Structures are given as C-alpha cells and as structure tokens.
Amino acid sequence: MSANPNLFTYLLRLADDNMVLSQRLGELVSWMPELEEDIAIANLSLDHLGQATSLYSYAGTMEAAGRDEDALALTRSEREFMNAVLVEQPNGNFADTIARQFLVDAYQVPLYQALSSSTDQTLGGIAQKAEKEARYHLEYSSTWLVRLGDGTDLSHDRAQSALDRMWPFAADLFAADQVEANVVAAGIGVDPRTLRDSFDSTVARVVELATLRMPTDTYERTGGRTGIHTEHLGHLLAEMQSLHRAHLGATW
Amino acid sequence: MVTLSTMDLDALRAKIAEIPDPEVPVLTIEDLGVLRRVEERNGSVVVTITPTYSGCPAMHHIEQNIRTALNDAGVEGDVETVFSPAWTTEWMSDEGKAKLRDYGIAPPRHIESAVSITNVPVRCPQCNSARTEVISTFGSTACKSLWRCLDCLEPFDHFKEL
C-alpha cells in the first residue's frame, strides 16, 4: 500500500489520545479505593489500549515505512506525540481522574459516531467498535461525576476543582489544522470543531445534574496536536517506554 | 500440506467453530459470534474473526488457536480480523446464551432498543430471580459486569449487552 502522510498523522493523533490516556489509567491499577473501581479503571484502560493498537497498526500501514504499533507507541519521543494535552494530565485525586475521563468521553462519543461513516472502511470499522465502548465509558464517568458533585460538601468541592482544573486542556481536543482539513476533504476524517456542540451539550447536561457550575476560565491550552505538551507527558513516556527501549527487539 | 480440494470447507469450518473462548471457555467462538467466515481465496483458506471489544486480550489467543487448527488439518490459511460490522451480543446464539446461564453467567438481553433494554430484568443465573442489582458496570473481563441477586444473595457475572 502506498503512503498517505495526511492520514498517517491524523491516525496518530487519534491513537496517541488513546495510548496516553490508557497509560494514565493503567497507573491506577491496584491503587483505586475499591476493588470494583479498580476493575472499572483497568477496563477503561484496556478499551483505550485496544483502540490505540488498531489505530497505530493502521497508521503504520499508511506511513508505509515498516513501523508497527509497538514502534509507533514505544519509540517516538515527546515532541512526536500528538495527543491532546488533556489526556496527559496526571491522575490527581479520584475526582480529577473522573473529570478528565468525562471530558474525553463527551468528545469521543460524537467523534467515533462521525467517523463510523468515514469513506475509509478500516477507520470506519475501528470507529464503529470504539463508539460502543465510548458510550459505555461516558455512562460510567457521568455517573461518577454526578455522584461526586451531588454528594458531600467535600466531594462536591473536589469535583468542581477537578472540572475547573481540566477544563482549559479540553480545548486541545478541538484544535485542528491542515491535516484535519485534508482528511475531511477526502471524506475520511472529522473536523473536531464540528463536535464541539455535542460536547458542550453533554457537559452542560451532566454538570447540571451534578449540581456543579460550568468552568469560567476562558484560557485554552492547546498545542498537543503539534507536539507541544505540558511537562507531564515526558515523564509518562519515560515510564511507558523504558522497558521497550532497554530491550529493543525483544520478543516473548 | 494437502491441497484445499481434499479438505471439505464445511468440515474445516465445523472444526474451527469448536474452538472455545479462552476467557469464557463454556462458549465457542461460533457461539459468541466472533467467528465470521471461513472461505477459500486463491487456493488458500481465510478465517475472518471480529473482536468483542477493541482491547480484548483473548483475540491473540483465539487467532493462535485457529492457526493451530488450520495446521492440524494440513491446510494453508490465514486469519483476518475485521471491525466492521461491529460485534454485537445480538450475534450470540441461543445455545450460547443457554450455556452461559448454566455456567453461572447471566446472558446478554435482547437489544430491541436502547431504552427498552432497561425494562427487562437481568435474571440471577442461580435462582432465576428478577430481583437483582448491579454492583459494578465493569467486571472481570471486558465483556462482563458484576451483579448480585437480592433473593439468593449470590453475586454473579452478567454478559453486557453491546
């Protein structure tokens, strides 16, 4: 198959969101307050890892340079990662983890829904599968955000601060440049800006149910799509990639 | 390697269909709907499978078992994974659902619509009571959630509708 640099970059952006979020969630395994939540967080991590694997694998085909999903996930440097800065934010307390997850889910549901009708059958297939998973994730994160927001004074305050803290980074999910423009023109990709209405209405609905208020900070921290990250990604990658880099080419 | 013509494609399919799911061994990959097609392409056999969940770790294992089955049958072949159409519990056979129940896992309910499903109770696989509640929306594998029965008080797994 011949190389398609635009689609390659587009797929990497989608894949990196899932890979980095999966790694963050994976950090929590065995650390959650209850066994049930530990299992839930591991399942979320696994779903995102699965989506990342499929997207990386297809991206490798579109790059046509012989890199497979492991090479793409585990040998690229911080500046080469193109995930939105939201997903690299540290787990913080449980409310931070839930707020980050909720914002990602509210974005991924309409994203995958739109991509399901991509003219690219492989990407469309991955999205059809992922859409069902994203809907289930959104149910989980919404339930928790409402439970925390509409819970005790302490959980309410923590949920509000978590939402306020994550909010400026959510803008990066909707950043787009020529790469998106090109894949949209080809009928393959989605302009993330068209997902904003759906995202906003989901957030507004759940925030109200959770007796929280919408964040008021208008600062938008973007740049992840071109490799300009917050300080946290480098540390995450160092841990995630160390084993692979120490034993390049090792197999089981 | 024997050539394909000496091997009946239906017989080969029947053999592959018997491969159990590694995580829910009471079900075969046919019962689950993971096995989509066994067909001949350019003189070799292509087995098409579809994952239940994107990250289902059982898929590698299933693929390996299919390759072994092909090899045992002396047939040249390959395994192809497709995502579209996306797997749904609607593909699970009635036989598969009965086997799940006997195994102690509440089978997925029929999805008539997204709304109607919540009106149908998840029945306890031990005592068949409809008085059950969810403990956790996620369970020991990607495809299950954790429930408890309010009558016999047994916790049980429920195969999630998807």
The 10s digit of each residue's pLDDT in A37-95 is: 999 999 999 999 999 999 999 999 999 999 999 999 999 999 999 999 999 999 999 99
Partner A contacted by B86 (CB < 8 A): yes
Of B81, B116, B139, the last residue of a domain is B81
Q: Is residue A251 part of a domain?
A: no
Q: Do B55 and A50 touch (CB under 8 A)?
A: yes
Residue B71, helix vs strand vs coil: helix
Partner B contacted by A28 (CB < 8 A): no
Residue B78, helix vs strand vs coil: strand
Number of CB atoms found within 10 A of residue A191's CB: 15
Shortest Cα distance, chain B CAs vs residue A202, angstroms: 18
Which of chain B's residues have a Cβ under 8 Å away from the Cβ of A132? 86, 162
Which B residues 95-134 touch A at CB under 8 Å? none
Contact A123, A188 (CB under 8 A): yes
Q: Do A49 and B56 touch (CB under 8 A)?
A: no
Q: Do B54 and A126 touch (CB under 8 A)?
A: yes
The pair of three-digit structure tokens given for residue B59, joined into one six-digit string: 């898929």
Q: Is residue B64 part of a domain?
A: yes
Q: Is residue B106 part of a domain?
A: yes
Q: Are residues B9 and B69 in the same domain?
A: yes
The CATH number linked to B59 is 3.30.300.130
Q: Are residues B70 and B108 in the same domain?
A: no
Identify the bridge partners of residue B149 per DSSP, sorted by sequence position: B132
Q: Are residues B30 and B97 in the same domain?
A: no
Range of the domain at B15: 4-81
Q: Are residues B75 and B115 in the same domain?
A: no
Q: Are residues B155 and B129 in the same domain?
A: yes
Of B56, B81, B106, the last residue of a domain is B81
Tokens 């859409």 sit on residue: A131
**Interface pTM, i.e. ipTM:** 0.82
Number of CB atoms found within 10 A of residue A186's CB: 15
Side chain identity at B53, as an amino acid letter?
A: Y
pLDDT tens for each residue of B102-142: 999 999 998 876 665 667 899 999 999 999 999 988 988 88
Which of chain B's residues have a Cβ under 8 Å away from the Cβ of A42? 138
Q: Is residue A195 part of a domain?
A: yes
The CATH number linked to A106 is 1.20.1260.10
Please name the member of B56, B136, B162 whose beta carbon is closest to the beta carbon of A132. B162
Number of domains composing chain B: 2
pLDDT tens for each residue of B59-108: 989 999 999 999 999 888 999 999 888 899 999 989 999 999 999 999 99
CA-to-CA distance for B50 and B58, rounded, in angstroms?
11
Strands laid side by side in the B35-41 sheet? B35-41, B44-49, B77-81
pLDDT tens for each residue of A107-138: 999 999 999 999 999 999 999 999 999 999 99
What pLDDT, on the 0 to 100 scale, is given for residue B39?
92
State yes or no: pLDDT of A205 exceeds 90.
yes
Burial A26-43 (b: 16+ CB within 10 A, else e): bbbeeebeeebbbbbbbb
